[in-house]
Copies of this chain bind each other. A is one copy, B any other.
Amino acid sequence: MFKGDRTTPPLTVMGLMSGTSVDGVDACLARFALESGQLRYEIIATHSQTMPAELRERLLRCMADKQIHLQEFCRLNVEVGTLFAETAWALMQTHHITAAEIDAIGSHGQTLYHWPPSQSGQLGGTLQIGEPSLIAEKTGVLTIADFRPRDMAAGGHGAPLVCFADQLLFQHEAMGRCIQNIGGIANVTVVPSLADAQQKHLPVIAFDTGPGNMLMDAAMDHFFSKAYDADGAVAASGQVHAGLLAHLLSHPYLGQCPPKTTGRELFGAPYFQQLLSQFAEIAPADWVATLNRFTAASIVDAYQRFVFPRYAVSELVVGGGGSFNPVLLENLRALFAEQKQPVPKQSILVKTHAQFGIPDQYKEALAFALLAWANVEGIPNNIPTCTGAQHAVIMGKRVT
């Protein structure tokens, strides 16, 4: 996978992550080494810490206002940094691991704002807080943080970054894989087989396939005042409504060519409300069943349009909250089994991260451990075919 079939001695690196839900910090300690260019890894320990309610409220307020007092900015940077530092420290204490046993810590920080580059070539900017100096001070470990700006300085979007980990963790000699994250929005990293990458020069690509749990969650909230459909129980009790499904599948986002990203603007509550007024007669459980099927169908549809024509794919590795919804996984399996022509029909196994020994909750923390590991090894860790950067760079700022 790496030029020259490099072999590197094992390094032990911790990744720290707090996502857009701002509910806590996840830490994952892992050991990484290259053997003849192939990544070997082992997860050593994980730990998570809840975001204090008061701090969470201030962060969400700032994100909603998109405006901040400079002193509050400094305070949040220090308080989030302290929380990250405490999470790293707690992992070390809990597992009796000393600073001398850890080579580096990679911290994503907390995103407050992301201003993507314009199509005309104007560079974008991004704002992650959580002062890494506090992590270095508390743990005594080299800390690498603020990864996105380096990719953006090279003209990239500074996202997605996890595709680097997807390639290292999942690239197989002979099998192509789609690493499908199903959070609020669903996004895929297409990792060609090593053979295809080398012989056909197929790049790793990544894009948002469409809604993840967002529409199902909106229906659960509306009809059942619940945050989500636990274990897919409601979807399992309902019937798919063919008219609604056909309407959903006509959404113009599905036909757009990658690279593409989407969010709450397209598939959030207003869209669900509009659907509700158009399909007033459908029973609540049928809504959830149909939206579940649509979510799976939008993923399979994206592959048929944009992935299968170029990539031979043997496995789908599902992650995010959606990977805990057995009805969604079943829908994916069923839809792959009944794929439409003319694209060559592919026989695809649907797996979860857990089947690869990666706890779903810690996937992103593991990804930031890997990004930091690459920084230490001097290995470029952005994927220009995913971020749009003009060239490969080594992302991350080092603090000792």
Contacts and interface: CB of A to CB of B under 8 A. Distances in A.
Contact of A133 (B69, B77, B81, B152): B152
8 contacts: A62-B70, A66-B69, A66-B71, A77-B125, A82-B123, A133-B150, A133-B153, A396-B399
A220 interface: no
Interface in A104-132: 112-113, 115, 123-127, 131-132
A388 to B, nearest CB: 15
**Which of A66, A70, A145, A398 is the most central at the interface, judged by chain B CB atoms within 10 Å of its CB?**
A70
Interface residues of A, number: 42
A78 interface: yes
**Which of A124, A146, A394 is the most central at the interface, judged by chain B CB atoms within 10 Å of its CB?**
A146
A362 B287 CA distance: 68
Interface in A228-245: none
A75 interface: yes
Contacts of A398: 397-399
Contact of A73 (B113, B136, B137, B396): B113
Contacts of A62: 70
Given A133-B150, A152-B133, A67 B70 contact: yes
A103 B162 CA distance: 31
Interface in A78-111: 78, 81-82
Contact of A125 (B75, B112, B136, B152): B75
A74 B134 contact: no
A152 B69 CA distance: 20
Interface in A36-66: 62, 66
A70 B113 contact: yes
B113 A137 contact: no
Given A131-B153, A398-B398, 14 more contacts: A66-B70, A67-B70, A68-B70, A70-B127, A73-B125, A74-B124, A75-B125, A78-B124, A81-B153, A82-B123, A133-B149, A133-B150, A133-B153, A150-B399
A154 interface: yes
Contacts of A153: 81, 131, 133-134, 136-137
